[in-house]
């Protein structure tokens, strides 16, 4: 019985979120007594393999091919499918990143198996491993079990485990280089360079105070209210994805998995229900204040201070009180 | 271009959800709406058709109520619809939904298949990618732009933290569409009228059954998540709430 963690590299750099998955895998290995191995997939990524080999793992595979230099789902699956068929791990764990979302369902399907994606944790129930994930936009959690033969595929959400708690090994683990045989004809997608849109003017990661709005703001003109609060607090205005999708605020003001990840001193969430994609971008904030009309909104699960009520009634007097308190 | 859009009906965003007797699913007597990312996928398909001509077909799997999603899509401009009608589809994992879709369209020849990037209920973000693998087609996920290019299409993928990437790919292909790729349109009155006369093909579970397999993922239990934090609730009339919160921001959070 064996756990395999596929760490993520992008552009030849280790994505640190891989250590979170490794921490989770180490915990599962401790509880089950299963061996833990890791793999990195790429071209000339031996340095990453060496870094991972410093952690408490039995072995690290460095899966190499010139066809893996730029990420494509075809090349990754062409490299990993025969590798997994040969090594037969019981459990394959990956971080739930955009790259993994792109190839992991294809990989599991190619092997005739299922993937439980975006997990926040696991439970051991007797001999069975259950994977915990959120459903219905965070309103419920689910315990999901595999009803099949291994390998079982699971991905862990950012923040599910603490990357800084990954255990180092007593001595560096052995590294085995695997040459993947991928014919150029297998690659159908031709990826271009990774780029950033020129206009990313706002760096919210440096903001001390953020006032963020969600669907509860209802209309574009109501943003003025949130702006007044942000101004009174001396903070930046931000939003959940739907607000930016609607064009009410520019995309560079978006907090969450597809936007910026922030950890200000104060985060005020106005009319944000707290879908998981938003939570991962702000749960590290020192103090979270949530105002929402729905007392069961998932945002209250991460809030330090909660107000169940109509934000249109609460904000105007709050702006006045803040101005008074500031003198 | 002939485009298939996979759509799902999900509980309305602010619908209060309750667990059913089994404790492994919700009570289904709630209000439903179209999965929002799928609405963007449909809009993108309609825009591609307006630019390049062709046909937009919408497909869903679910009980009779799911027909509403197809009706709305037809009213917005889709040309025809396929309804895999059975209550059992609600319990299918992503792989089985993909198998059912693949079986239902095996007589068709699409250039592109769109899905939303994920559903608001399960949130697995897998159906489109699995469907591509079952069909043997290339795919790309979290797409923000689609252009015709020599030998196929050029798409813009959204990566994390504000990064993007263009990808050239051949057709046919499956794309999962990111919310916000476009501005959604409303159905017009005339569109709603015309929708009634557009072709709708019903597919019974029995027709796709031979292509299905046992679910490999089993939801054992559904429950309200345990709170990880102690939340201090401030209650009272708005003026009192505002005053108490301002005090806390000054004395405890120390940001004023």
The answer on A313 and A252 residing in a single domain is yes
pLDDT (0 to 100) of residue A198? 62
Please compute the mean of the pLDDT values over residues A318-327 and round it to a whole number: 93
What percent of chain A has a predicted confidence (pLDDT) above 90? 88
Lowest-confidence range among A61-75, A194-208, A275-289, B39-53?
Answer: A194-208
Mean pLDDT for all residues in chain A: 94
Report yes or no on A90 lying in a domain.
Answer: yes
User: What's the structural domain count of chain A?
Assistant: 2
C-beta separation of B27 from B19 below 8 A: yes
Q: What is the DSSP annotation of A101-159?
A: HHHHHHHHHHTT--EEEEEEEEEEETTEEEEEEEEGGGTEEEEEEE-SSSPEEEEE-TT
Q: Scan residues 203-222 of A and list those with Cβ closer than 8 Å to B.
A: 208-209, 215
Is B139 within 8 Å of chain A by CB? yes
Residues from chain A that touch B225, judged by Cβ atoms under 8 A, are 134, 138, 140-141, 298, 301
Give the closest-approach CA distance of B197 to chain A in angstroms. 32
Tell me if B224 and A141 make a contact (CB, 8 A cut-off): yes
Q: What is the pLDDT of residues B39-54, one digit of tens each?
A: 999 999 999 999 999 9
C-beta separation of A131 from A118 below 8 A: no
The answer on A166 and A65 residing in a single domain is yes
Mutation site, B19, B163, B183, B227, interface A, largest A CB count within 10 A: B163
What percent of chain A has a predicted confidence (pLDDT) above 70? 99
Is A176 within 8 Å of chain B by CB? no
Q: What is the pLDDT of residues B192-210, one digit of tens each?
A: 999 999 999 999 999 999 9
Q: In angstroms, rounded to a whole number, what is the distance separating the alpha carbons of residues B46 and B91?
A: 30
The answer on A180 and A223 residing in a single domain is no
Confidence of residue B226 (pLDDT cuts 50, 70, 90): confident
Give the closest-approach CA distance of B174 to chain A in angstroms. 12
CATH number of A34's domain:
3.40.50.620
Confidence of residue A199 (pLDDT cuts 50, 70, 90): low
Residues in contact with B2: Cβ distance below 8 Å, sequence separation at least 6, in sequence order: B54, B55, B57, B108, B109, B110, B111, B112
Report yes or no on A77 lying in a domain.
Answer: yes
Nearest Cα residue to A251 out of B38, B116, B179: B179
Report yes or no on A285 lying in a domain.
Answer: yes
Given A136, A157, A186, the domain boundary residue is A186
Centre a 10 Å sphere on the Cβ of residue A286 and count the other Cβ atoms it contains: 13
pLDDT (0 to 100) of residue A79? 98
| CATH class for the domain made up of B2-211 | alpha beta
Q: In angstroms, rounded to a whole number, what is the distance separating the alpha carbons of residues B210 and A51?
A: 48
Is B204 within 8 Å of chain A by CB? no
Residue B28 to residues A136, B32, B34, B121, Cα–Cα distance (Å): 13, 9, 15, 12
Q: What is the pLDDT of residues B63-101, one digit of tens each?
A: 999 999 999 999 999 999 999 999 999 999 999 999 999
Confidence of residue A252 (pLDDT cuts 50, 70, 90): confident
Is A327 within 8 Å of chain B by CB? no
Q: What is the DSSP letter of B90?
A: G
Please compute the mean of the pLDDT values over residues A226-238 and round it to a whole number: 96
C-beta separation of A38 from A22 below 8 A: yes
Please compute the mean of the pLDDT values over residues A264-268 and round it to a whole number: 96
Q: Which residue of B has its CA nearest to A97?
A: B160
Report yes or no on A195 lying in a domain.
Answer: no
Q: In angstroms, rounded to a whole number, what is the distance separating the alpha carbons of residues A107 and A74?
A: 9
* pLDDT for B133 beyond 80: yes
Confidence of residue A132 (pLDDT cuts 50, 70, 90): very high
Residue in A101, A197, A307 nearest the CB of B162:
A197
Tell me if B242 and A97 make a contact (CB, 8 A cut-off): no
* pLDDT for A131 beyond 70: yes
* pLDDT for A250 beyond 70: yes
What percent of chain B has a predicted confidence (pLDDT) above 70? 100
CATH number of A229's domain:
3.40.50.1220
Residue in B170, B180, B238 nearest the CB of A244:
B180
Given A153, A186, A219, the domain boundary residue is A186
* pLDDT for A197 beyond 80: no
Q: What is the pLDDT of residues B105-114, one digit of tens each?
A: 999 999 999 9
Domain, as residue range, for A249: 204-326
The answer on A247 and A162 residing in a single domain is no
Confidence of residue A221 (pLDDT cuts 50, 70, 90): very high
Q: What is the pLDDT of residues B113-127, one digit of tens each?
A: 999 999 999 999 999
Tell me if B241 and A276 make a contact (CB, 8 A cut-off): no
The answer on A303 and A236 residing in a single domain is yes
Residues from chain B that touch A115, judged by Cβ atoms under 8 A, are 124, 126
What percent of chain B has a predicted confidence (pLDDT) above 90? 91
Residues from chain A that touch B249, judged by Cβ atoms under 8 A, are 233, 266, 289, 322, 325
pLDDT (0 to 100) of residue A159? 86
Report yes or no on A199 lying in a domain.
Answer: no
Give the closest-approach CA distance of A179 to chain B in angstroms. 24
Lowest-confidence range among A135-149, A188-202, A247-261, B40-54?
Answer: A188-202
Given A186, A217, A232, the domain boundary residue is A186
Mutation site, B119, B173, B225, interface A, largest A CB count within 10 A: B225
The answer on A218 and A171 residing in a single domain is no
Tell me if B132 and A115 make a contact (CB, 8 A cut-off): no
* pLDDT for B35 beyond 70: yes
Q: Across chain B, where does the E strand assignment appear?
A: 2-6, 9-11, 32-34, 55-62, 80-85, 112-116, 139-149, 152-158, 163-169, 173-177, 200-204, 217-223, 232-233
The answer on A247 and A100 residing in a single domain is no
Of residues A283 and A41, more confidence is placed in A41
Tell me if A195 and B164 make a contact (CB, 8 A cut-off): yes
Q: What is the pLDDT of residues A85-110, one digit of tens each?
A: 999 999 999 999 999 999 999 999 99
Tokens 């994609």 sit on residue? A277
Mean pLDDT for all residues in chain B: 95
The answer on A147 and A51 residing in a single domain is yes
Residues in chain B, total: 256
* pLDDT for B13 beyond 90: no
Cβ–Cβ pairs < 8 A, chains A and B? 252
């Amino acid at each position: 019985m064996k756990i395999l963690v596929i760490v993520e590299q992008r552009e030849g750099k280790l994505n640190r979120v891989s250590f979170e998955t490794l921490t989770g895998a180490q915990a599962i290995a401790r509880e089950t007594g299963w061996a833990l191995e890791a793999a990195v997939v790429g071209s000339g990524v031996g340095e990453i393999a060496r870094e991972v080999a410093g952690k408490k793992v039995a072995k690290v595979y460095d899966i190499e091919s010139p066809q893996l230099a730029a990420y494509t789902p075809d090349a990754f699956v062409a490299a990993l499918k025969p590798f997994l068929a040969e090594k037969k791990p019981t459990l394959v764990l990956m971080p739930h990143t955009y790259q993994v979302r792109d190839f992991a369902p294809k990989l599991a399907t190619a092997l005739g198996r299922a993937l439980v994606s975006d997990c926040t944790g696991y439970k051991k129930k007797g001999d069975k491993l259950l994977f915990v994930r959120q459903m219905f936009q965070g309103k419920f959690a689910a315990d999901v079990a595999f009803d099949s033969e291994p390998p079982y595929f699971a991905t862990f959400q950012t923040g599910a485990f603490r990357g800084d708690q990954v255990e180092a090994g007593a001595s560096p683990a052995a590294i085995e280089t695997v040459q993947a045989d991928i014919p150029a004809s297998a690659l159908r997608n031709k990826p271009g360079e990774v780029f950033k849109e020129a206009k990313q003017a706002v760096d919210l990661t440096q903001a001390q105070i953020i006032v963020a709005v969600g669907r509860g703001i209802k209309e574009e003109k109501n943003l003025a209210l949130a702006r007044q609060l942000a101004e009174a607090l001396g903070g930046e205005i931000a939003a959940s994805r739907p607000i930016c999708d609607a064009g009410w605020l520019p995309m560079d003001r978006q907090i969450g998995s597809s936007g910026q990840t922030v950890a200000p001193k104060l985060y005020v969430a106005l009319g944000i229900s707290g879908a998981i994609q938003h939570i991962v971008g702000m749960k590290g904030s020192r103090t979270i204040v949530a105002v929402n009309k729905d007392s069961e909104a998932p945002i209250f699960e991460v809030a330090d201070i909660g107000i169940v009520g109509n934000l249109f009634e609460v904000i105007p007097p709050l702006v006045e009180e803040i101005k008074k308190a500031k003198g | 271009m002939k485009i298939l859009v996979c759509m799902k009906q999900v509980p309305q965003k602010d619908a209060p959800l309750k667990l059913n007797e089994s404790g492994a699913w919700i009570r289904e007597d709630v209000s439903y709406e179209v999965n929002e990312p799928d609405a963007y996928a449909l809009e993108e398909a309609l825009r591609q058709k307006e630019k390049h001509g062709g046909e937009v077909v919408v497909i869903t799997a679910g009980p009779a109520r799911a027909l509403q999603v197809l009706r709305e899509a037809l009213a917005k401009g889709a040309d025809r619809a396929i309804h895999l009608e059975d209550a059992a589809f609600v319990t299918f994992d992503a792989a089985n939904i993909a198998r059912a879709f693949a079986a239902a369209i095996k007589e068709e020849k699409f250039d592109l298949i769109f899905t939303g990037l994920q559903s608001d209920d399960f949130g697995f973000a897998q159906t489109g990618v699995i469907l591509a693998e079952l069909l043997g087609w290339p795919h790309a996920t979290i797409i923000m732009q689609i252009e015709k290019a020599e030998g196929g299409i050029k798409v813009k993928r959204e990566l994390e933290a504000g990064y993007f990437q263009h990808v050239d790919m051949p057709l046919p292909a499956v794309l999962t569409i990111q919310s916000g790729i476009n501005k959604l349109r409303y159905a017009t009155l005339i569109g709603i009228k015309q929708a009634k006369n557009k072709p709708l093909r019903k597919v019974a579970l029995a027709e796709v059954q031979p292509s299905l397999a046992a679910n490999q993922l089993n939801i054992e239990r559904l429950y309200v998540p345990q709170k990880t934090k102690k939340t201090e609730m401030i209650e009272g009339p708005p003026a009192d709430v505002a005053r108490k919160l301002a005090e806390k921001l000054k004395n405890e959070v120390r940001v004023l």
